[in-house]
Amino acid sequence: MSSPFPLLRLPGVVLCDVFRSLSIGEKFKLSICSKKISIQINNCRLYSQKVIVDLACLSHKIRVFSENNRDAFEISIYSDSWKSHNSNTQQFSIACCSVKVIPIPKGITTFWKNHREGFLSVIQLLLKVFQCKISINISYYNSDLYQPTIAMLFDLRMEFKTIIFELKGSEDRILLWNQISHKLKLVEDLVILSGLDPGFPPVFASWPQKISIESSAWFSLESLLACTCTTITHRRSHMGNKDLDVILKNWKAGGLPNLKCLRLDSLMITDDGGHILGTTFRELNGMVIQTDDGSKKATIKTNFRNIEIGRYAAGGARGGGTGGSCCSCGVGAYGSQGAPSVPDFCFDCPPESQEGQGDSGNIPPTGNGGRLEADGNPDPVNEVPGQQGAMI
């Protein structure tokens, strides 16, 4: 008996090509039209486009967008108690749940028994349709959605593009941190936000690929030297000249082997502070350093608030809006609207790969283009006028 849906009569290879040609929205809508179609799309998932799934829990939305940001689709999650009289309302099955759906420009609005059921069900379907990386902002206001959502995603060993974690001292928040701290290898960018009193100092049982920490005395010199991340950004740090001296000497001796990028902003780093590599903070400008074994080299630049180490690819004008990379290895290549003007620098390239490079760049320290607010939009991190710092 032939399939009632002509699309299903196509050979499997051709069907995969058809699915691959669809936009994110087209493929998602097609997957909820028919259970048989959904199964076929799931069978072709490994050939599907890679997407970022941004879980905007506070605004009850799930945003799905392509890696190049050229294609996007938004799924709004509403409680079924909210009565809608829209004539375009249709009934579909999503993750075995019968759901009311209203089409909107570049997305759909869905209605569920509760927000938790909606989030978990939509995420389950997205994981069957696309190759997903997850981004989530774990703020103080929507923790009831986090526990089951995060637990499910980590149990499935999903990759995370970004996790933004706001430190609070509640028991639920401490429990959630303890759950994810053992699985941070699945995370590309981890951003930790904390005030003067975060409530508890997080203990790292594993490390993400990149980490960005805001306003924290708990991230000490010992923590930094133990960190295995490729990129470390520490804003409003409490580290001073002595700490910076230890970090540079540690790197020269072969420490921090994974490190590609490091930035430190600190009020404690001053021109009249202690010596750094035997010289003053100001005199570091233009100094070329290399590891004791000669395998890595970097150039130090200083200004009123930071130190930069590395060489930059030509064309990445500092302070402009273009992305670039510090050398031929492509480390830090990135461009994003709304990203803070932060040059990148490279720790892992042999000296010859850095020769002949330009001396400018405009690379944000993490893949987020700044801190993400609860709605997932970039918010460049506020700078402190007159603040000294170090970019290494």
220 found inside a domain = no
> pLDDT digits over 272-331, tens only?
778 899 998 888 888 888 899 998 887 777 766 666 665 333 333 333 333 334 443 443
> pLDDT digits over 1-10, tens only?
455 667 777 7
What do you get for the CA distance between the two ends of the chain, in Å? Answer: 67
- Among 129-138, 228-237, 302-311, which is the least confidently predicted range? 302-311
Structure tokens at 285: 């400008």
280 found inside a domain = no
SS (H, E, C) 238-305: CCCHHHHHHHHHHHHCCCCCCCCEEEEEECCCCCCCCCECCECCHHHCCCEEECCCCCCEEEEEECCC
Q: Quick check: helix, strand or coil at residue 174?
A: helix
**What integer pLDDT is reported at residue 85 of this predicted model?**
64
Contact predicate 389/306, CB 8 Å: yes
At 224, phi and psi to the nearest 5?
-65, -45
- Judging by DSSP bridges, how do beta strands 159-166 and 131-138 pair with one another? parallel
Per-range mean pLDDT, top range of 116-120, 268-272, 337-341? 116-120
> pLDDT digits over 18-48, tens only?
888 999 999 999 999 888 888 888 888 888 8
Contact predicate 221/239, CB 8 Å: yes
Residue located via tokens 């082997």? 257
User: Which residues on neighbouring strands pair with residue 74, listed in sequence order?
Assistant: 63, 107
Per-range mean pLDDT, top range of 290-294, 346-350, 358-362? 290-294
On the question of pLDDT at 65 being above 80, the answer is yes
296 found inside a domain = no
**What integer pLDDT is reported at residue 80 of this predicted model?**
83
Q: Quick check: helix, strand or coil at residue 191?
A: strand
65 found inside a domain = yes
Residue located via tokens 């929507």? 142
The average pLDDT across 226-232 equals 93
Question: 41 lies in which domain range?
Answer: 1-129
- Judging by DSSP bridges, how do beta strands 187-193 and 50-56 pair with one another? unpaired
Surface-to-core class of residue 372, CB atoms within 10 Å of its CB (0-12 exposed, 13-18 middle, 19+ buried)? buried
Radius of gyration of the chain (CA): 24
Residue 358 DSSP symbol: B
Confidence of residue 164 (pLDDT cuts 50, 70, 90): very high
Confidence of residue 215 (pLDDT cuts 50, 70, 90): confident
The percentage of the chain sitting over the pLDDT mark of 70, rounded to a whole number, equals 72
273 found inside a domain = no
User: How many helices (DSSP H) and strands (DSSP E) are in the chain?
Assistant: 8, 18
**What integer pLDDT is reported at residue 48 of this predicted model?**
84
Per-range mean pLDDT, top range of 6-20, 38-52, 152-166, 195-209? 152-166
From residue 105, alpha-carbon distances to 72, 90, 142 in Å are 11, 16, 26
Contact predicate 120/152, CB 8 Å: yes
Dihedral sign of CA atoms 69, 93, 48, 14 in order: negative
Dihedral sign of CA atoms 10, 3, 47, 74 in order: positive
Contact predicate 335/322, CB 8 Å: yes
Query: CA 62 to CA 76: how far, in whole Å?
Result: 6
Residue located via tokens 């959904």? 38
**What integer pLDDT is reported at residue 166 of this predicted model?**
86
> pLDDT digits over 369-383, tens only?
333 333 334 343 333
The average pLDDT across 135-146 equals 75
308 found inside a domain = no
**What integer pLDDT is reported at residue 304 of this predicted model?**
62
Number of structural domains found in the chain: 1
**What integer pLDDT is reported at residue 365 of this predicted model?**
32
319 found inside a domain = no
